[in-house]
């Protein structure tokens, strides 16, 4: 398996598409937003043309008002990977959702605990009334390891961890076991100087608005998808929904999207650390960011060499 990771907008999908054509590969998305149908522009989903050229998996899996979890993604992606490998093709895992990537790369065994919606509503009500710190302290008491990995800002994951604890009576971190995959893999990371990455993010946000993000959000709202849904809380959809409801101007919404996407990129660097020896990092230079396919030949040659070595080791094994 080849995993291609890094911050949002750095060019992961573009690189994967180029390489997939060379190596007769299929792509498994590791993006927590691209699983939702009808949400294409704001998630930078591969186009129908791109999906016709290279087979993609874990995209358009559920409607925006349907439940979706890490456990559901993991099962779906594992089956996709097995199918690709059985067909004798090379699987590329591509995306910036750290939980999704590491669950596959490290072989997590994720607890199959169904959601308890009433318990979740009570936790959400507490978060509304008290803020998230009370819930976070409770998680620190019952599972310090899970609390440290989640952090105090991610209320949704804090609530899910507490839900698992209340349902099973066990710390969530003790239920998550790792068993590394029994096939060779290479992790390729793309990085970019922070200011250049932010500029690339801003250009992409402006492009999303030009090609119809407002219309996409309006259509979702017309279909009855509530702005409070987890799917609709994603960056871009939440801010444009505020604009559609008259709460902010369009320039204000766009500025918020850019600011939140910059924050997302910083969080992704916490998931994919530059000093992680498992990741082969490649820097995307500023001039290359102007083009979706502007990776230099030297970089592509180095990446192809890594993949060739992986394929040879897999065949010899």
Paired tokens of 30 = 């590791």
Identify the pLDDT of residue 153: 83
Fold of 2-110+179-316: Rossmann fold (3.40.50)
Question: pLDDT digits over 41-61, tens only?
Answer: 999 999 999 999 999 999 999
Residues of the chain with pLDDT under 50: 287-292
Identify the pLDDT of residue 287: 46
Count CA within 13 A, CB hemisphere, residue 298.
5
Polymer length in residues for the chain: 317
Identify the pLDDT of residue 33: 96
**Closest CA relative to residue 81, chosen from 55, 46, 117:** 55
Identify the pLDDT of residue 317: 54
Question: pLDDT digits over 195-244, tens only?
Answer: 999 999 999 999 999 999 999 999 999 999 999 899 999 999 999 999 99
C-alpha span between 126 and 134 (Å, rounded): 8
Fold of 117-175: Histone, subunit A (1.10.20)
Contact 292, 207 (CB under 8 A): no
Identify the pLDDT of residue 87: 96
Domain boundaries, the chain: 2-110+179-316, 117-175
């Amino acid at each position: 398996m080849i995993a291609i990771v890094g911050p949002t907008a750095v060019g992961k999908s573009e690189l994967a598409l180029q390489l997939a054509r060379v190596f007769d590969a299929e792509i498994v998305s590791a993006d927590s937003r691209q699983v939702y149908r009808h949400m294409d522009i704001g998630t930078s989903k591969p186009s129908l043309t791109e999906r016709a050229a290279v087979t993609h998996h874990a995209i358009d899996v559920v409607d925006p008002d349907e439940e979706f979890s890490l456990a559901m993604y993991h099962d779906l992606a594992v089956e996709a990977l097995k199918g690709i490998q059985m067909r004798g093709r090379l699987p590329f895992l591509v995306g910036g959702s750290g939980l999704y990537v590491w669950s596959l790369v490290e072989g997590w065994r994720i607890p199959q605990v169904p959601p308890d919606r009433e318990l979740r509503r009570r936790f959400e009500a507490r978060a509304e009334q008290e803020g998230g710190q009370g819930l976070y302290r409770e998680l620190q008491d019952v599972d310090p390891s899970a609390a440290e990995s989640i952090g105090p800002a991610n209320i949704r994951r804090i609530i899910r961890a507490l839900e698992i604890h209340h349902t099973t009576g066990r710390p969530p971190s003790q239920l998550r076991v790792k068993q590394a995959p029994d096939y060779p893999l290479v992790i390729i990371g793309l990085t970019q100087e922070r200011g250049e990455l932010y500029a690339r993010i801003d250009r992409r946000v402006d492009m999303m608005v030009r090609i119809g993000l407002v219309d996409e959000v309006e259509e979702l709202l017309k279909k009855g998808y509530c702005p409070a849904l987890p799917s609709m809380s994603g960056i871009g959809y939440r801010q444009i929904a505020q604009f559609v409801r008259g709460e902010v101007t369009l320039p204000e919404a766009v500025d918020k999207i850019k600011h939140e996407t910059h924050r997302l990129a910083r969080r992704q660097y916490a998931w994919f650390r530059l000093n992680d020896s498992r990741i082969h990092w490649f820097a995307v230079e500023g001039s290359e960011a102007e083009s979706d396919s502007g990776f230099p030949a030297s970089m592509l040659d180095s990446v192809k060499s890594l993949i060739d070595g992986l394929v040879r080791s897999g065949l010899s094994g």
